[in-house]
Chains A and B, each alone.
Chain A
Amino acid sequence: MRKIITDPLVLIIAVFAFYPALPYIGNFISLGSELLLWFIFTMSFNLCLGQTGLSSFGHGAFYGLGSYGAAITFLRLSGPGSFLVPILAGVLVGAASAALLGWFIKDKRGVYFAMMTVAFTQVCFGICWRWDEVTGGEAGLSGVSRSTFLGVNVSNPTTYYYVCFVVFIVCAFVIRAITRSCFGLSLQSVRQNYVRSQYLGYNVNLYKFGVYTISGAFAGMAGAMYCLLTQSAFADILDWSKSGDVVMATLLGGGTVSFYGPIVGSLIFIICKNLLSSLWDHWLFIYGMSFVIILCLFPTGLMGVMQKRKKKKA
C-alpha cells in the first residue's frame, strides 16, 4: 500500500483526476487534455532518448502523421460518429512511419541518426504542406468531430479530457512497464555500451528498430487524439521546431535519468506556452534562457537534481 502511495505516477494521476477543479488552470480544460497528450508524446520520445540513447530529434513526425492519419481516416473512411477507428489509424500510421524510417537508419548513430530524423520530419512537413488533395495543404484538414464512444458523449471537452486521462494512465503504465522489463534492460544496455551489448549477443540494430516502432505507435496515438481534440490537422505540428520542443521539454525535465522527466518537462513547457505567452509575447526568451541556465547548472535536468538530493539525504 505504501508503495502505491509514494509512487510518483500515482501522485500525477491523482492530481490530474481533479484537473477541472484546479484553481485557474482548471478553467482551460483543453489545456489539460493537451498536457496529457504531451505527456504520452514525450514519454514515447523518451523511450528512444532516455532508454535507448537514440537522438530522435524529429519525433514530431510521428505525432503529426498520427494526427493526419486520424483526420484523413475520419474524413474519408470512417466518417462522422467514428472515434476509435481514427485513433487506431493514427497509431498504425505512427508505428508504420517510424518502422519505415527506423529500418533505414537503424545502423546510424549520434548526429547522423539525429539528422536523418530531422530530415524525415521536414520531408513529411513538405508533403503535408503541399499535397492539397489529400492533406489540405496550407489550409490543413478540418471537419473532424467527436460524437459518442461506447455510449458516452465525447463531444463535451470535459468528457474528452477524461478520455485522454484514461488513455494517459494506460500509456504511462505500459511505457513504464516496458522501461522496467527485460526488454527495457536490453535497451539500456544498447544506450550505455552498444559494443558490449553486441558481444553479449544482442542484435543492437534490431533493438533500435523495435523501440523506434513502439515509440512511433505511442506518438501516433497522441497525435491522433490531438487531432480529435482540436478537430483538425495542420502541417505546422510537423514543423521541426515542434520536434525541438519535445527534446527541450524532455531534457529540461530530466528524461535522461528519470522516467518522470518527460512529464515534468512537458508540464512546464505547455503551461509556459499557454500562460506565459498570454502575458508576454516574448515568453520564449525567458523559457529559452531558463532552459540554457538550468541545463548548464544541472545537465541531468530537474529530475536529476531531485535524484541527487534524495541520494544525499540517504
Chain B
Amino acid sequence: MPLFSVKNLTKRFGALTATNNITLDVGREGIMAIIGPNGAGKTTFFNLLTGFIKPDDGKIFYKGTDVTGQKPYRIIRHGISRSFQVVSIFEEMTVLDNVRVGVQRNLGLMNKLFLPYHKDRKTTDEAMAVLEHVGLGHMADLPADSIPHGDRKILDLCMALTSKPETLLLDEPMAGLSKAERIRITSVIKNLSLDHKIILVEHDMDLVFSVADVILVLHHGTVLAYDEPDKVSANEEVQSAYLGREVADA
C-alpha cells in the first residue's frame, strides 16, 4: 500500500495554480525527496500533505485513510509528523522543555492540571532519551534561543520525533546550514531513515542525490518525474526544466 495517495489534488493562490491536479501514489521507499525549480509547488504540495493548508480540490489518503483537510493536530495522530524550514521551536523554553511538550502529549499527560511538569520522571526520561539519540543531551538545560543554528535545526527535528511518527516530513532540513552542519544533519537523517519513512523537500542536490531512494520532481504544479535518482538525473525533461536551465539559457 502506498504511504500517501493523492487524487486530483489542486491548490490555487489567486490566479496561480500551485498544485495542479496531481494524482500520484508516493512514498513506498525509505527516503523520498521532492525537488523542483523555485515556484514549482514543492512547499505547497508538502503543506497539503501535512494539513498546513487545505486543498481546493482533490483528496489525500494516508495509508488508505482519507485525511483531506484535517487539522494538523489530527493529522499527526495517523503517524505523520513534520519539521519546519524556518526553525520552529519554543524559544523561551529550555531545550529539554521543548521536547517535553511533545513527549507529555504523547504520554497523554498534557491536561494534568496539578502535576508539575518538571517532576514527571517518565516525561523527563523519555525527552532525554530523544535528545541523547540525536546528540543534544549535553544541551538539555540551555535556553533554546541560545544554542547554535545547526543544533536548533536538530532540535526542531527532535520535536517532530516525539509523537513517535511512522512518517517524517522534513521541510528543507539543510536551509541555512554550514558545510559541517550539513554533513551532521545528513547522517542524522540517514540514521532516522532506518526506522522512519521520510519525505523531504530540499534544494541541496548533494543531499538529495546521496540519501534519496526516490525523487519526485515538480514543475509548474505538476509532476515531471517520479523515479529513482539516477533515472531522474538522466531524464531529459527534468534536465531542461531544472538541472540544465543554465545550459538552455546559454
Contact = CB atoms under 8 A, between A and B. Distances in A.
Interface of A: 177-178, 180-186, 188-189, 192-193, 195-204
Given A189-B101, A192-B90, A183 B112 contact: yes
Contacts of B104: 182, 185-186
Contacts of A196: 84, 88-90, 159
Contacts of B73: 198-199, 201-204
B234 to A, nearest CB: 37
B72 interface: yes
Given A198-B72, A199-B81, A199-B82, A184 B90 contact: no
A188 B93 contact: yes
Contacts of B159: 196, 200
Interface stretch (B2-10, B38-46, B114-122, B190-198): B114-122
A201 B71 CA distance: 10
Residue among A183, A195, A199, A201 with max Cβ neighbours from chain B (10 Å): A199
Nearest to B118: A180
Contacts of B105: 186, 200-202
Contacts of A200: 76, 101-102, 105, 159, 162-163
29 contacts: A177-B114, A178-B113, A178-B114, A182-B109, A182-B117, A182-B120, A182-B123, A183-B111, A183-B112, A185-B97, A185-B101, A185-B104, A186-B111, A188-B90, A188-B92, A188-B101, A189-B101, A192-B93, A193-B91, A195-B72, A195-B88, A196-B88, A199-B72, A199-B73, A199-B76, A199-B88, A201-B77, A201-B106, A203-B71
B205 interface: no
B152 interface: no
Contact of A181 (B76, B112, B160): B112
Nearest to A187: B110
Given A188-B93, A192-B91, A201-B77, A182 B72 contact: no
Interface in B108-153: 109-118, 120, 123
B82 to A, nearest CB: 6
Given A177-B114, A180-B117, A193 B109 contact: no
Interface residues of B, number: 38
Which 5 pairs between the two chains have the least Cβ-Cβ distance? A198-B72, A182-B112, A192-B90, A185-B117, A200-B102
A181 B104 CA distance: 11
B100 interface: yes
Contacts of A183: 110-113
A199 B91 CA distance: 16
B144 to A, nearest CB: 9
B112 A199 contact: no
A232 to B, nearest CB: 34
A203 B93 CA distance: 20
A182 B159 CA distance: 17
A124 to B, nearest CB: 28
B88 A193 contact: yes
A175 B101 CA distance: 20
B90 A193 contact: yes
A208 to B, nearest CB: 13
A201 B76 contact: yes
A305 B50 CA distance: 42
Interface in B136-190: 159-160, 162-163
B204 to A, nearest CB: 23
A180 B116 contact: yes
Interface in B58-114: 71-73, 76-77, 81-82, 84, 88-93, 97, 100-102, 104-106, 109-114
A211 to B, nearest CB: 11
Centre residue among B76, B113, B118 by max chain A CB count within 10 A? B113
B130 to A, nearest CB: 12
Contact of B110 (A177, A182, A193): A182
Contacts of B93: 188-189, 192
A247 B93 CA distance: 24
Contacts of A201: 73, 76-77, 102, 105-106, 163
B119 to A, nearest CB: 9
B110 A186 contact: yes
A200 B74 CA distance: 10
Contact of A199 (B113, B117, B160): B160
Contacts of A189: 90, 93, 101
A177 B118 CA distance: 12
B111 to A, nearest CB: 5
Contacts of B123: 182
B90 A181 contact: no
Given A198-B72, A202-B105, A203-B73, A181 B81 contact: no
